Chains A and B, each alone.
Chain A
Amino acid sequence: MKALNLKYQGILTLISRLVVGAVLLIAGGLKAFVPAEAASAVSAYKILPTQIAHIVGYALPWLEIAIALLLIIGISIRMAAIVAGGIMILFIGAIASVWVRGLLIDCGCFGGGGVIDLSKAAAVHRTYALEIARDCGLALMSLYLYFFPYGLLSVEKSALPNEEI
């Protein structure tokens, strides 16, 4: 296992960087230019006081973009991996908390009829599970990058010559 990891570490690191970076870049890019939507989405979690939720909603997309660029280009990978992993853990916690509290956060209003559709609730719960699984995967990749930050196609290189690794 160890030998296998050593053999493929360079490419595994590159893949992790690109996957985590691309996901963060897309997620951040989609939200950065619709600040009202991002602010509204964060306050829908009902974890933070609204005012703070709005600031987080405004700031998080830009943090995601900045971290994504660092990962993709390959600068300060270890630090970027810590932040990326932290963001993923926050998301996992936030989703788990709405799930536990039974909030159906993508529906916002009670809709036209006034009753929550139970079949819809099941679908929302499945979405929560998938989102948590996805974020766990990304968090694990970030963890891998913390231990093996140096791989192929990276601006930053290991301080040690390759044969010592």
Chain B
Amino acid sequence: MSKQAKATTGGDHFTRWLVIGMVALVVVTGVIFSIMSSSTKANESFAALKGYKLGDSVAASVNPAAGFGLTLNPGAPVTIDLWEDPQCPVCRTFETSIGAYIDTMVRTKKATVVYHLLSFLGPESVRAANALMCSADEGHYLDFHQAVYIVQPALENSGFFSNDNLVKIGDHIGLKSKTFTDCLTKGSKLELVKAHADSMPTYKVSGTPTVFINGKLWERTSNGFDLNEFRLAVEAG
């Protein structure tokens, strides 16, 4: 055993370095290829936002009494509390089937909607939640929120929700004011993001999406998210 081991110690140094160099070359080329293909993929997903029309401005406020939730259209007879993580794929499913209805309820002033932005899926959720809160200051929470779910990648923490890409999302939907991009890149809302996360236990929320209608947990009976079922629950209060 030791004899064979010894035999190689005086091996050809040139060959060894050549092999190390080749391996390094393969790895570096591969990394460059991967980074490029990821960014191409991200840009492709922005195509889905083409022609997006920014809606009317909707004021949003932070309500400390409701777990610091972002409150849209306060004072309506029905209050809907939504708990979601911007990276959660099931929240995207929820948004796809019920999002438009919720937006209409806010815009027609029929419901108060409180958004609780969780970020337990990782640092990219934190960044996206920060960006969403910045968009609320601009009065375009609903627009940015919709856009984030339109482009949400299938995989969590794959590098997609970088501040650069979040600024690009704003760009594509026409939300490009300096206050917005500054707030986004500086992470001005990170404390609020943390406050939302910290309020989870108070409301006994352990997952997303979680919905409360007038403070009562909405327990869906169907497998997916059924718009009619949700609408009836909201109308019943």
In the complex, which of the residues A53, A59, A160 contacts B27, with contact meaning CB atoms closer than 8 Å?
A59
Which A113-147 residues have C-beta < 8 A from chain B?
A: 113-115, 147
B88 within 8 Å of A (CB atoms): yes
Please name all residues of chain B whose beta carbon is closer than 8 Å to the beta carbon of A70 when the two chains form the complex.
19, 23
Do B37 and A40 have beta carbons less than 8 Å apart?
A: no
Please name all residues of chain A whose beta carbon is closer than 8 Å to the beta carbon of B124 when the two chains form the complex.
50
A67 → chain B, closest Cβ, in Å? 7
* A40 to B90 Cα, complex, angstroms: 17
Please name all residues of chain A whose beta carbon is closer than 8 Å to the beta carbon of B26 when the two chains form the complex.
62-63, 65-66
Interface of B is mostly: helix
A17 within 8 Å of B (CB atoms): no
Given A79-B16, A109-B121, A110-B206, CB of A159 within 8 Å of CB of B90: no
A69 → chain B, closest Cβ, in Å? 9
B143 → chain A, closest Cβ, in Å? 25
Interface residues on chain B, size class: 35 or more
Of the candidate stretches A18-26, A31-39, A90-98, the one touching chain B is A31-39
CB closest chain-A residue, reference B85: A109
Do B89 and A109 have beta carbons less than 8 Å apart?
A: yes
B35 within 8 Å of A (CB atoms): yes
Do A67 and B31 have beta carbons less than 8 Å apart?
A: no
Do A54 and B7 have beta carbons less than 8 Å apart?
A: no
Given A114-B208, A115-B207, A150-B4, output 13 extra A-B contacts at Cβ < 8 Å: A35-B34, A44-B156, A50-B124, A58-B30, A58-B31, A66-B26, A67-B23, A79-B16, A110-B206, A112-B223, A114-B207, A148-B1, A159-B8
Chain B residues packing against A (C-beta within 8 Å): 1, 3-5, 7-8, 10-11, 15-16, 19-20, 22-23, 26-27, 29-31, 33-35, 37-38, 41, 85, 88-90, 121-124, 153, 155-160, 206-208, 210, 223
Chain A residues packing against B (C-beta within 8 Å): 5, 32, 35-40, 43-44, 46, 50, 53-55, 58-59, 61-63, 65-67, 70, 75-76, 78-79, 108-115, 147-150, 158-160, 164-165
